[in-house]
Amino acid sequence: MSAAPAAQARSLRAFGAAAALTAALSALALTSPGRAQVAPTANEIAAYSGLHAAAARGDVAATLRLAAADPAAAKSLDAHGRTPLHVATFARKVGAIVALARSGAALDALDNDRFDAVTIASVADDEATLDVLLALGASARQVTSRYDGTALIAAAHLGHDGVVRRLIAAGAPLDHVNNLHWTALIEAVVLGDGGPRHQSTVRALLDAGASTQLTDRSGRTPLQLARDKGYRALVEQLERAR
C-alpha cells in the first residue's frame, strides 16, 4: 500500500473510532435515569392538594381518609402524569405507599416518562421503599421508560447492586433488551465506572444466569465492551463466566 492510501486508511479508522466514542457519549447522556426521571419540584409539592399533598407529606391518616372518600383520587394525575403513589415513592413515604396500595392505587401506573414506582425507587437506590413495593405486589418485570427498559437495566446502569439483587429475586427479566439494544449486563459495563459496585452488579447478574452472548448493535459482547473500556476486574469476571 502506498503512503497516501495508508494515511487515508488511518484517517478513516481514526474517524470511525471518534464517531463510535461520540455515539457512546451521546447514549450515556440520553439514557441517564437521573435526567429522565422528573421528581416533583418544591413548587409543585407546595401547590398540591388532596391526595397528592397527603402522599407528599406521608400523612397516612389523611391518605386513608381521602382515598376512602374518593376512590378515584388514588388514580389522579398531576401535570407530569404522577399519581399519588409516584409522589409518595419519590418522597420515600413508605406509610403513604402502603395506605395507597390498600386503597386501590395502581402499583404499575406509569408517569409521562413511563416510569413506575419500582423503577423510581430503583433509580434512587432506595432499597427500603423498593422492598415495600415488591411486598405489596408491584412487579419487577414491567417495561418502563422511553427506552423500553426495565428497573433492572436502570439499576445495573447505576451500579445499585443491592437493588439489582432484590429485583433479580423478584423475577426481573435478566436478558431484556431495550430499544438501544442493551441488556442490564451490557449497561453495567458500558455505562458503569468499572468500580466495586458495578463489579458487584455484574457478579449478581452473572450468578443469576444473565447471558454473556447477547450483543450491542455493533455486535460486541459484554466481555468485548469491558475490554474496550479497560475494566480489568469486569473482564476477569466475564472471562470466568464464558
pTM: 0.86
Mean pLDDT of the chain: 90
Instruction: Name which residue leads in pLDDT, 175 or 7.
Output: 175
Highest mean pLDDT among 18-27, 31-40, 52-61: 52-61
Q: Give me the mean pLDDT over the 35-63 stretch.
A: 94
Taking the CB of residue 65, how many other CB atoms lie within 10 A of it? 14
Comparing C-alpha atoms, which of 56, 23, 25, 37 is closest to residue 155?
Answer: 37
- Asked if 104 and 65 count as a contact pair (C-beta separation under 8 A), the reply is no
**What residue type is 7 in one-letter code?**
A
Between CA 184 and CA 201 the distance in angstroms is: 9
Q: Cell numbers at residue 148, please?
A: 423500553
Comparing C-alpha atoms, which of 79, 50, 82, 80 is closest to residue 67?
Answer: 50
What domains, with CATH codes, occur in the chain?
33-139 (1.25.40.20)
| Sole residue written with cell 450515556 | 28
Looking at the chain, the whole-number percentage of residues with pLDDT higher than 70 is 85
Q: Which of the four pLDDT bands, split at 50, 70 and 90, describes residue 2?
A: very low
Judged against a pLDDT cut of 70, whether residue 187 lies above it is answered with yes
